Copies of this chain bind each other. A is one copy, B any other.
Amino acid sequence: MKSYEPGQGRKTAALRGSFMCGSLLYTMHEKYMRMALKQAHVAQTKDEVPVGAIIVKDGKVIARAHNLRERTQRALAHAEILVIDKACRKLNTWRLEGCVLYVTLEPCAMCAGASILARLDGVVYGAKDPKAGSMGSIINLAEISQYNHHPWVIEGILAEECGQILSDFFKLKREK
């Protein structure tokens, strides 16, 4: 996977990605996003807001996690934080260079910040989050030039499926 230059925006990254490898790259992103979606489904079975994430390095999935905030009552138990923590433990380093995060929902400020802190190469997400999304919707923290790391960001991979599982979850909650 191409690692983009610091400071490049998500749109540039997405366009360059598409231009470089075309549908092959898109298929790869879809494959990994399906794995993240599987994690979202696991969260759903636990009555958690269905968001799932995986981390990929050198073509291998090195960590999987899903949102567990209600079950654990930990503010930090977002899928991205849990998966970054798992990846750090697995590789025994806080520098997740060469790693890409796939997550079904656009990261919030905490998770976008964690992606920068962990020096992830890139972040690929599915559905946008207009209420808290901090990698394109409200703000894009990956584009703040003063920070010392700038993961590239690609949005909208399996966006409909990633959003649908959330809509269904909240609809069911309201009906109950």
Contact = CB atoms under 8 A, between A and B. Distances in A.
Contacts of A70: 94
Interface stretch (A10-18, A31-39, A72-80): A72-80
Interface string A73-105: 111111001001100110011111000000000
A141 B116 CA distance: 15
A interface, by DSSP: helix, strand, loop or mixed?
loop
Contacts of A127: none
Most buried by B among A72, A74, A113, A119: A113
Interface in A97-152: 108-114, 116-119, 131-132, 134, 138-139, 141, 144, 146-148
A29 interface: no
B69 A76 contact: no
A138 B147 CA distance: 8
16 contacts: A73-B93, A74-B89, A75-B85, A75-B88, A76-B76, A76-B81, A76-B84, A76-B117, A108-B113, A109-B144, A110-B114, A111-B113, A138-B144, A138-B147, A139-B139, A139-B144
Interface of A: 69-70, 72-78, 81, 84-85, 88-89, 92-96, 108-114, 116-119, 131-132, 134, 138-139, 141, 144, 146-148
Q: What 10 A-B pairs have minimum CB-CB distances, sorted nearest first?
A: A110-B113, A109-B113, A75-B118, A75-B94, A110-B114, A138-B146, A74-B88, A113-B113, A75-B117, A110-B117
